[in-house]
């Protein structure tokens, strides 16, 4: 395969994945946006977390909510749990890396808040512990996942949360679909928030 063909193939496969994701998860994406808007309306906040590229996605989501997506509007309460390097390294050093998110949820999370967990595999220990801690604190869980959802998918199902599972086994394409899901969520939340203000 030539370099150009490889590029074309990646775009084609990624596009097919994102279209399939939109068709299979459209209702869940819209529902997620409504739950976010309702959470914020009742004084709750949105917590986000993920590892690696998913940490970047978690920060992306929180920043779009706190700042803006497309339109000027009030800031929306969102915190990315992957953004404080000092806290993460302190927790990893003094406790364990598996607790870098769960400890923050213990300190920052309250009943009525919402946790959005982003993971392509749903198997990382710190992600599992974050979801379990959220459940213990009556925090609603939304998971952006892929593959078979892993243990995270099971926890979300058991706790009556909401899983947005990308129909792919390829990490890169799952991440690409997650990015589009995030943009859809942010646009819907923003429009719903502005409608309420008008």
Q: Give the predicted TM-score (pTM) of the model.
A: 0.95
Confidence at residue 84, expressed as pLDDT on a 0 to 100 scale: 96
Q: What is the pLDDT of residue 1?
A: 83
Structural domains in the chain (count)? 1
Q: Which CATH number belongs to the domain containing residue 157 in this structure?
A: 3.40.50.10490
Q: Domain containing 131: what range?
A: 3-197
By the 8 A CB rule, do 56 and 62 touch? no
Per-residue pLDDT of the chain in tens (198 residues, 90 and over written 9): 899 999 999 999 999 999 999 999 999 999 999 999 999 999 999 999 999 999 999 999 999 999 999 999 999 999 999 999 999 999 999 999 999 999 999 999 999 999 999 999 999 999 999 999 999 999 999 999 999 999 999 999 999 999 999 999 999 999 999 999 999 999 999 999 887 654
CB 79, CB 47: distance < 8 Å: yes
Query: Residue 139: CB partners within 8 Å, gap ≥ 6?
Result: 47, 105, 109, 110, 111, 112, 113, 114, 115
């Amino acid at each position: 395969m030539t370099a150009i063909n490889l590029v074309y193939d990646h775009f084609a496969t990624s596009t097919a994945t994102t279209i399939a994701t939109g068709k299979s998860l459209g209702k869940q994406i819209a529902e997620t946006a409504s739950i976010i808007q309702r959470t914020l309306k009742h004084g709750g906040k949105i917590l986000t977390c993920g590892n690696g590229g998913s940490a970047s996605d978690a920060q992306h989501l929180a920043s779009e909510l706190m700042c803006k997506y497309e339109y000027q509007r009030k800031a929306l309460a969102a915190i990315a749990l992957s953004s404080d390097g000092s806290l993460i390294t302190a927790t990893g050093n003094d406790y364990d890396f598996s607790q870098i998110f769960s400890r923050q949820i213990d300190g920052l999370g309250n009943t009525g808040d919402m946790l959005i967990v982003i993971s392509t595999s749903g198997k990382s220990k710190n992600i599992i512990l974050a979801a379990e801690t959220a459940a213990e604190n009556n925090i609603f869980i939304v998971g952006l996942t892929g593959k078979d959802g892993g243990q995270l998918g099971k926890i979300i199902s058991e706790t009556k949360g909401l899983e947005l599972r990308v129909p792919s086994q390829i990490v890169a394409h799952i991440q690409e679909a997650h990015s589009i899901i995030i943009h859809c969520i942010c646009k819907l939340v923003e429009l719903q928030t502005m409608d309420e203000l008008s």
